[in-house]
Amino acid sequence: MTQFDRNDESIRMEGKKPLGGRIQIQGSKNAALPILAACMLIPGKCVLRGCPNITDIDCMCSLLESTGAGVDTEALVTDNRIVVDTRNVRERRLPEKYVSAMRSSVVMMGAMLGRLGEVCVNYPGGCVIGERPINLHLYGLEKLGAQIWTEGNHIHAYADELKGAVIEFPFSSVGATQNVILAAVTAQGTTVIKNAAREPEVIELCKFLNLAGANIDYAGTFFKSGRIEIRGVELSRLHGVDYTVISDRIVAGTYLFAALAAGGKITLENIPIGQLGSVCDMITEMGANLELDAAQSKITVNACDRDRIKNLPYIETAVYPAFPTDLQSPLLAAACMAKGRLKVRERIFSSRFRIVEELKRMGADITIEGDTAIVTGGRELEGRTVISRELRGGAALVIAGLGASGITTVIDSGYIRRGYQDIVSDLASLGARIRYVD
């Protein structure tokens, strides 16, 4: 049975069993997806290592294949390796089935404009976590000279020739920054992006493209000012590369919160420690003991004394390097059981409190006031059957189940599989009593 055959299965666990042991953290979904799209730009063969075996990666590979690219995923299951050969791409229309399934399909626009000068897509889909417009993506591509028009649900973009421009985003967007970078790599002249997103996944894309022959300057004042400069190169200068995707800071953070909820002591290996500053600070302030080993890229979290785990009064999500929106739901789940009261303000996405109703059914005390959730912790959660409705919320329900008494069943593990290679086997390796059920 493959990972994807399990999409309709539920996840069942018996809570209140402290975790122990060590696991390796998978490669980063949000780094791998735009890098796969970037392969579209490169008329050659790219080998990507460390790709997580998750459904969103599967979907991006299908998008690439639909353009005529050769995508070899045979070693994805065994070795997390994908080989992409885009020498023969020609199709400019992306199939709705895959575009609608995943938000990050939108970054194929920049890559296809750069490679083929044309693309037709429908509006992208993805997890329902609030309004997710693409106006900044389209604004940036238009500034580079693309003509963009819509017909029904379809967006067409066309450019005889893309030209470098100064693009200032009114606020930071990870995807829009990546889309513009992809289109600007082969544009004539120089592009400057102001107020670019500073997330590590943007840097990863720049590193990959530079290795493949692009000329992107993201050093200098980038971290302070959010300025990225891309000097356009001829398409023929780009060449295939062998690249290893960085590990997933959000998956690592999820398991740190799992340890707070369940108690115990675990070691996470292959961790991007430098990217987890705000999360590690928070976990320590919440009363757990953290040992960071930067040389070995590993973190040990000790939350054996669950009585010491307490809530901080106030947390808000914000762009990197602040606390990430993708860990807001895992934090919320752990906070239900920690002592004291926590206010969490969600500043990135408008509907990221969809799990609150499910947590309340397990006995959590949470109220929502606009963009803020107020959790009164120290509650004993009780196992229930709950429903996962989006990726990070689903993982958070698993965390809640690990800390709850009795049996919890999280229905529809398909959402979780969009981003977690195998949350069940990871947590089982850490001693959790957890399994898939039909």
What is the binding site for ligand EPU (CB under 6 A)?
29-30, 33, 103-104, 127, 131-137, 173-176, 197, 199, 201, 324-326, 348-349, 391-392, 419
Closest CB to ligand EPU among residues 226, 383: 226
- Whole-angstrom distance, CA of residue 64 vs CA of residue 99: 11
Q: Is 150 exposed, middle or buried (0-12, 13-18, 19+ CB in 10 A)?
A: exposed
Phi, psi for 2 (deg, rounded to 5): -90, 170
Residue 256: C-alpha distances to residues 51, 279, 302 (Å): 21, 9, 9
**Can you name the residues that pair with 11 across neighbouring β-strands?**
410, 436
What is the smallest separation between the CB atom of 198 and ligand EPU, expressed in angstroms? 10
Nearer to ligand EPU, 203 or 309 (CB): 203
78-89 burial by CB neighbour count: b if 16+ within 10 A, else e?
Answer: eebbbbbbbeeb
Q: Measured from the CB of residue 172, what is the shortest distance to ligand EPU in angstroms?
A: 6
Which CB sits closer to ligand EPU, 240 or 353?
A: 353
CB of 419 to ligand EPU, least distance (A): 6
Is 120 tagged catalytic? no
Pick the catalytic residue from 59, 127, 206, 280.
127
Cβ proximity to ligand EPU: between 136 and 301 the closer is 136
Find the shortest distance in angstroms from Cβ 54 to ligand EPU: 10
**In terms of CB distance, is 201 or 229 closer to ligand EPU?**
201
Measured in degrees and rounded to the nearest 5, phi and psi for residue 87 equal -60, -30
Smallest distance, ligand EPU to C-beta of residue 305, A: 31
Take residue 16 and report the two structure tokens written for it: 């209140």
Let me know: does 144 contact 189? Beta carbons within 8 Å.
no
Q: List, as one string, the DSSP characters of 178-210.
A: HHHHHHHTTSBSEEEEES----HHHHHHHHHHH
What residues act catalytically? Answer: 127
